Amino acid sequence: MLEFFTRLFNRDGGSKNVAKERLRLVLVHDRASISPQLLETLKAEIIQVISNHMEIDESALEVNLDSSGNTMALVANIPVKGMKRAAEA
């Protein structure tokens, strides 16, 4: 959860871009009636499931809600380091 807030308040993109992204997140969460805690829970569960089959870079993983008109999408950017070998039967 700390990583979420670190990215949310990161100053690398300039204050204008940071403010724009914060507003976008607030609006999307408000329209979807989804709390930041629920989004973090979804992120943790996605990490758990994907990690069963792939080695992923959890520090670079991003999960967001995007809204376009009347539709909403859960968008996950998951950097894959490699595939895990299946257990031999």
Q: What is the pTM of this model?
A: 0.52
Top pLDDT among 29 and 44 is at: 44
Q: How far apart are CA 38 and CA 1, in angstroms?
A: 11
Q: How much is the mean pLDDT over the chain?
A: 75
Give 5-30 pLDDT, tens digit per residue.
Answer: 566 555 455 677 777 777 766 666 66
